[in-house]
């Protein structure tokens, strides 16, 4: 399923495109949609200048280092715009001006300042040129996403000179020397020198490396430059999750709202020693906006679960001698499912075989959307043929270890090909896979995938997955409450899941600012959720998309 349109039910999706597709998009924009290429370049350079002024306002002396291609043309525009704003700007052109062609030559001709021309590595190291690198900020406009590494010669030496300094570097489009189509961390030994980037400003749509290659420790900004949405076509079936996607879920609620409008989540889980997991899933559902949440848990831990938060309702279930949910609870759970919006199974449920068998039965029988996590997933280890969505909305939220057990491989194998593993499993079992980790993935059975850019290593602590389970269930409950069924409106379900994944990571980012990465615990995310919602609401209204 590819979602593309501009109304509430089909928001604008930020597609990830290859370098070749980006070139085609630019060409089509000019040839079919009559947007002059000079206009695109002007807007691109303006976006770079705007980012510099907003994020590096204290930088007064700015050096813009330009190659001879269109990336350099963007740099010429940025230099002109920054000069007009009163900054002291130095342009270094790594080519003879006679080599400039097309739009880059036009924009070079509009420079209000004389550029320093560098034609060789010897000139780069000369007494004439070295003082020109004295600056508060560099703008790297040497090579764009059309370049295939490795870089060599003068350009490589210029990149090395920038990298050797402590001066911040803003990369235009992509850090010079990087492979735009890379889907993993880039090995400098193999790809050659890559510019060190403090931030990146790219245009229209990100390329894979912007999302997967960790090209900067700072922000990546995707700025619109006038390309019509209909021109942005990609075969990668990859998208970046943005708050614009799920903005309707973040909007004001009607004055006549009541709890019944926002869904009722049933969480089945918990066991002796693991009461906290199911409690966190239940309260996170409420914190994410569900109208009601009920936790069904073994009777011996019910008091513990109920004591966490009075807002969550509880139901006692019969239990095994080990303090887990027994097979005898099946009928009661079946009754509890009636009238509920979403069933979440797994947090703290443990791996006693009797309980695991019950999990498999519930997953097969439930007609309402299911979110399956933790030991709810482990119940299907070596019985993977029993896990199948079969046209229902079944969402699984594994970490790499759980994904490995389901896929019959090692966690290292999963990490080597996260996207491929998730796509194969989603297709083979007709489920939506939320593969957790750095750049969490949301993958549909047809292979369409969304990449999340929020979150941080501080979230690598017990319980954050349980929080996510409740959040995913809550977002589905709210979105589905206004729809007939998830099967009839799959685009609503997928965007609800993306919303939960994005907000979960954003809550972690919020809390990192106050507690740091080492001291973060799962319940900190509950405290961070209100601010995460506020930031997402604000981001949904902004012209550019930005992630750190």
pLDDT digits (tens, 9 = 90+) for 260-287: 999 999 999 999 999 999 999 999 999 9
> Does 242 fall in a domain?
no
Query: For the chain, what is the mean pLDDT?
Result: 94
Both 265 and 226 in one domain: the answer is: no
Both 64 and 131 in one domain: the answer is: yes
pLDDT digits (tens, 9 = 90+) for 285-310: 999 999 999 999 999 999 999 999 99
Both 193 and 91 in one domain: the answer is: yes
Both 404 and 525 in one domain: the answer is: yes
Query: Is residue 114 predicted with pLDDT exceeding 80?
Result: yes
Output the six-digit token pair for 335.
Answer: 């009754």
> Which residue, of 167, 201, 236, is where some domain finishes?
236
> Does 92 fall in a domain?
yes
Write down the pLDDT at residue 1.
28
Output the six-digit token pair for 190.
Answer: 């193999």
CATH number of the domain where residue 221 is located: 3.40.50.10260
Cα–Cα distance, 105 to 124 (Å, whole number): 22
> Which residue, of 167, 202, 236, is where some domain finishes?
236
Domain that holds residue 72: 16-236
Both 79 and 206 in one domain: the answer is: yes
CATH number of the domain where residue 336 is located: 3.40.1190.20
Q: How many domains does the chain have?
A: 2
Query: What string of H, E and C letters represents the secondary structure of 21-60?
Result: HHHHHHHHHHHCCCCCHHHHHHHHHHHHHHHHHHHCCCCC
Both 212 and 268 in one domain: the answer is: no
Interval 446-463 mean pLDDT: 97
> Does 342 fall in a domain?
yes
Both 217 and 275 in one domain: the answer is: no
Percent of the chain with pLDDT over 90: 91
Both 267 and 173 in one domain: the answer is: no
Query: Is residue 353 predicted with pLDDT exceeding 60?
Result: yes
> Which residue, of 201, 236, 271, is where some domain finishes?
236
> Does 531 fall in a domain?
yes
Both 172 and 318 in one domain: the answer is: no
> DSSP string of 262-284?
G-EEEEE---TT-HHHHHHHHHH
pTM passes above 0.75: yes
Both 525 and 479 in one domain: the answer is: yes
pLDDT digits (tens, 9 = 90+) for 92-108: 999 999 999 999 999 99
Note whether 30 and 221 are within 8 A (CB). no
> DSSP string of 398-426?
--HHHHHHHHTS-HHHHHHTHHHHHHHHH
Of all residues in the chain, what percent are helix, strand and coil, respectively (each to 5)? 45, 15, 40
pLDDT digits (tens, 9 = 90+) for 320-352: 999 999 999 999 999 999 999 999 999 999 999
> Does 6 fall in a domain?
no
Interval 542-546 mean pLDDT: 95
User: How many residues would you count in the chain?
Assistant: 548
Query: Is residue 188 predicted with pLDDT exceeding 80?
Result: no
pLDDT digits (tens, 9 = 90+) for 22-38: 999 999 999 999 999 99
pLDDT digits (tens, 9 = 90+) for 15-25: 999 999 999 99
């Amino acid at each position: 399923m590819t979602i593309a349109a501009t109304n509430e039910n089909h928001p604008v999706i930020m597609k990830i495109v290859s370098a070749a597709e980006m070139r085609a998009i630019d060409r089509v924009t000019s040839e079919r949609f009559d947007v002059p290429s000079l206009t695109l370049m002007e807007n691109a350079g303006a976006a770079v200048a705007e980012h510099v002024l907003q994020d590096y306002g204290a930088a007064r002396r700015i050096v813009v280092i330009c190659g001879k291609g269109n990336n350099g043309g963007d740099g010429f525009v940025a230099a002109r715009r920054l000069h007009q704003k009163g900054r002291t700007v130095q342009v270094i052109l790594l080519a003879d001006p006679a080599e400039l062609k097309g739009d880059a030559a036009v924009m070079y001709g509009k420079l209000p300042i004389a550029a320093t021309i560098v034609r060789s590595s010897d000139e780069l190291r000369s007494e004439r040129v070295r003082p020109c690198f004295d600056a508060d900020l560099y703008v790297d406009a040497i090579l764009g996403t059309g370049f295939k590494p490795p870089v060599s010669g003068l350009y490589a030496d210029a990149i090395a000179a920038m990298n050797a300094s402590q001066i911040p570097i803003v990369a235009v489009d992509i850090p010079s020397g990087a492979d735009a189509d890379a889907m993993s961390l880039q090995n400098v030994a193999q790809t050659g020198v890559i510019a060190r980037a403090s931030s990146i400003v790219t245009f229209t749509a990100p390329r894979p490396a912007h999302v997967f290659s960790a090209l900067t420790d700072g922000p990546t900004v995707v700025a619109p430059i006038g390309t019509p949405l209909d021109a942005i076509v990609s075969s990668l079936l990859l998208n970046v999750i943005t708050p614009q996607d799920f903005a309707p879920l973040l909007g004001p609620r009607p004055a006549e709202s009541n709890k019944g409008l926002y869904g009722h989540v049933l969480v089945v889980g918990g066991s002796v020693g693991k009461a906290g997991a199911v409690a966190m899933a239940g309260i996170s559902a409420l914190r994410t906006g569900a109208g009601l949440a009920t936790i069904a848990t073994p009777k011996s831990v019910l008091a513990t679960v109920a004591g966490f938060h009075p807002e969550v309702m509880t139901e006692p279930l019969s239990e095994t001698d080990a303090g887990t949910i027994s097979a005898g609870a099946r009928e009661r759970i079946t009754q509890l499912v009636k009238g509920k919006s979403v069933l979440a199974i797994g947090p703290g449920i443990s791996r006693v075989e009797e309980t695991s068998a019950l999990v498999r039965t519930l997953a097969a029988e439930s007609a309402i959307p299911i979110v399956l996590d933790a030991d709810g997933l482990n119940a299907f280890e070596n019985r993977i043929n029993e896990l199948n969505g079969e046209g229902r909305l079944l969402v699984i939220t594994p970490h790499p270890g759980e994904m490995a057990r389901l896929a019959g491989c090692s966690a290292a194998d999963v990490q080597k090909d996260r996207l491929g593993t998730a796509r194969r499993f989603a297709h083979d079992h007709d489920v939506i896979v939320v593969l957790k980790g750095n750049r969490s993935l949301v993958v549909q059975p047809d292979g369409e995938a969304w990449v999340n850019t929020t979150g941080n290593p501080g979230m690598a602590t017990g319980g954050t997955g349980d929080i996510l389970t409740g959040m995913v269930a809550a977002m589905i409950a709210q979105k589905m409450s206004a729809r007939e069924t998830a099967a009839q409106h799959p685009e609503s379900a997928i965007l609800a899941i993306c919303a939960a994944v994005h907000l979960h990571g954003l809550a972690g980012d919020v809390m990192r600012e106050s507690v740091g990465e080492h001291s973060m615990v799962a319940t900190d995310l509950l405290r961070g959720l209100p601010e995460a919602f506020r930031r997402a609401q604000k981001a949904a209204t902004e012209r550019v998309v930005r992630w750190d």
